[in-house]
Amino acid sequence: MNFSVSSLALVLALAAPAFAQQPPPGRPPAAGTLGGPVTGLTTAEMALFRDGLTGFRQVETADSGLGPIFNDISCIACHNAGGAGGASRRTVTRFGLTRDGHFDPLTARGGSLLQQRALDPSFREVVPVEANTLARRVTTPVFGAGLIEAIPDATLLAAAAASKPDGVRGRAALINDITTGKQRVGRFGWKAQHATLLAFTADAYVNEMGITNRFFPEENAPNGNTGLLARADQINDPEDEVNPSTGRTDVDRTAAFMRLLAPPPRGRITADVTAGERLFASLNCTTCHTPALTTGSSSIAALSRKRVALYSDLLLHDMGALGDGIAEGPAGVRELRTAPLWGLSARPVYLHDGRTDSLNTAIRAHDGEAAPAKNRYVQLPAAQQQQLIAFLRSL
Ligand code: HEC
Ligand code: HEC
């Protein structure tokens, strides 16, 4: 989406963060429920899950490496709807300069991700005046993330190569995984920008909280101003330190927590839900929202060769006018990863920018490769639209 520069200040004011209430720490919920572990963990894996939950909840401070610029002070501050690891209404802001159809993330000016807060207000980032493209991204849930991580690249490459109805294409998001140096198929984030939970976690530590780590050892300079950074940042990098008793860092334990987090459980299956599920297939929503994929073999038995009912092909699709105008990693300006639909009932808002709390509106916003399926939905009698939505709410 393009904005005139004069409208940027207003949009940013609207994007001001609403700080979430923290649930009190306590025992994690039961296995197989939202915020609980996957069923079938060993005692040792359960200990990793509990320890990782502590990392996910941990409130960072200047002493633990927070800042100098950041978006929030813990993972759970943004990821909390329905339980630890959930989505929320919280958005972050991306900006850049679009000229002659080319997107420039303005890296030298601190783009494309804006850090909205700073330890000292004098080095808080602003959207640079030359930016003419601005997008908000809402927080995604990480329930069942370990199952998504365990889906083999080959599955996604085969899905991309398969021929599909309605002119739907779908691209595997080829990325260089920073944790292994290998080319992988991205599957996490609105742009499928990471393939592994370790990489996403390391990215979130540095870009959302300003905590440098072994994969991202350099701080973000406020709007690219390295002189300001030198004055603002006194803590040695990497700030994410190895715990001598475990040999692991906060990045490692937090990634392990998400890997072992249960997938969202299904809601009640009524007659409307069953009818809606048939409509979902007959409208070809399933071309992109693949009902289930299967994990490969994993050293964690609870994740090995499991059915993953995520309702996504994890591929990038050209979504036409629904695109966010931001090119990032493997994804072009109109491309987005098919959003997994499991756990929709625990989501406060939908679509990449969280623009709506109505599933009907979210479906009607589909464009580009999804236009034929969307048009069939629009033409359904209202009663059948209701059944389709009852199905989505049961996920
Ligand atoms: C300021 C709010 C905020 C904070 C703090 C935050 N996140 Fe996120 N998280 C987001 C948003 C927004 C997205 C979607 C980003 C995108 O795709 O561009 C996201 C996406 C993710 C995803 C991708 C899930 C998927 O499949 O789409 C993972 C994994 C994740 N965050 C982990 C973490 C971890 C771990 C932490 C703490 C180290 C953390 N996040 C801190 C807002 C936040
Ligand atoms: C061409 C692939 C494609 C088809 C076909 C498709 N979708 Fe989607 N769907 C997507 C993508 C990509 C997104 C993410 C869009 C965004 O966030 O802006 C999405 C998002 C959604 C969302 C919002 C989920 C969220 O996390 O916010 C819902 C609900 C949804 N689709 C339902 C449907 C229904 C119902 C149909 C059939 C009428 C359908 N989709 C057909 C690709 C597709």
Pocket test for ligand 2, best of 137, 148, 284, 288 (most atoms within 8 A of CB): 288
C-alpha–C-alpha distance, residues 31 and 29, integer Å:
7
Looking at all shown ligands, the one closest to residue 145's CA atom is 1
Residue 128 near residue 78, CB atoms below 8 Å: no
Q: Which of 279, 277, 280, 259 is nearest to 267 (CA)?
A: 277
The separation between CA 355 and the C-alpha centre of its own chain, rounded to angstroms, equals 16
Residue 258 near residue 201, CB atoms below 8 Å: yes
What single-letter amino acid sits at 202?
A
Looking at all shown ligands, the one closest to residue 140's CA atom is 1
**CA end-to-end span of the chain:** 30
Would you say the CB of residue 254 lies under 6 angstroms from ligand 1?
Answer: yes
Domain spans, the chain: 271-393
Longest dimension (CA), the chain: 64
Residue 310 near residue 148, CB atoms below 8 Å: yes
Cα of 373 vs centre of ligand 2, distance in Å, is 10
Cα of 381 vs centre of ligand 1, distance in Å, is 38
Cα of 225 vs centre of ligand 1, distance in Å, is 25
Pocket test for ligand 1, best of 59, 60, 117, 139 (most atoms within 8 A of CB): 139
C-alpha–C-alpha distance, residues 199 and 258, integer Å:
12
> pLDDT in tens for each of the 395 residues of the chain?
444 444 443 334 333 344 444 445 568 899 999 999 999 999 999 999 999 999 999 999 999 999 999 999 999 999 999 999 999 999 999 999 999 989 999 999 999 999 999 999 999 999 999 999 999 999 999 999 999 999 999 999 999 999 999 999 999 999 999 999 999 999 999 999 999 999 999 999 999 999 999 999 999 999 999 999 988 888 899 999 999 999 999 999 999 999 999 999 999 999 999 999 999 999 999 999 999 999 999 999 999 999 999 999 999 999 999 999 999 999 999 999 999 999 999 999 999 999 999 999 999 999 999 999 999 999 999 999 999 999 999 99
Residue 14 near residue 140, CB atoms below 8 Å: no
The separation between CA 280 and the C-alpha centre of its own chain, rounded to angstroms, equals 24
Q: For 157, phi and psi rounded to 5 degrees?
A: -65, -40
Between CA 113 and CA 123, with CA 118 as vertex, the angle to 5 degrees is 90
Would you say the CB of residue 143 lies under 6 angstroms from ligand 1?
Answer: no
pLDDT of residue 231: 87
Pocket test for ligand 2, best of 283, 289, 318, 324 (most atoms within 8 A of CB): 289
CATH architecture of 271-393: Orthogonal Bundle (1.10)
Would you say the CB of residue 205 lies under 6 angstroms from ligand 1?
Answer: yes
pTM of the model: 0.94
